[in-house]
Structure 1
Amino acid sequence: MEASYPSSIAMIAMCVLPTAMMQYHRLIKKHKLCNTTNALCGLFTAFMVIRRLICGVHLFTDMLGGLIFCVAMI
């Protein structure tokens, strides 16, 4: 297994899903449905990041680098 910095899978999850959450907030008019989809996206994002850390595929610094990159892109 080769090292990957920053974590590309976590970076995709941290870029795509929060952006989707922003779009859901704008496009879905029913507040209950909007809150549910946003909660599911947030949980899935957290699950992706935590799963990569627990499996030992990436270090915390890999996730932090991916997060910083995503915040700069968004």
Structure 2
Amino acid sequence: MTGLDPRTDKILQICCFITDADLNLLEHSGFEAVIHHPKSVLDNMNDWCIDTHGRSGLTAAVAASNTT
């Protein structure tokens, strides 16, 4: 997310894994999608998100994504 407020901040990445009742992975590949947002959204992230997502590569992946 671009911050911690679900009313105003945006989802950047979605991941899903299928498990059994004991949380053992049943499907190891899972599903993952990075959601594109314009530069204006990324520029308004809080400092923690700018630093963390910048270091992990998520910010660059969001900018390069074609998924909306």
Structure in which a larger fraction of residues adopt strand: 2
Larger relative contact order, structure 1 or 2 (CA cutoff 8 Å, min sep 6) = 1
Q: Which has the higher helix share?
A: 1
TM-score normalised by L of structure 1? 0.30
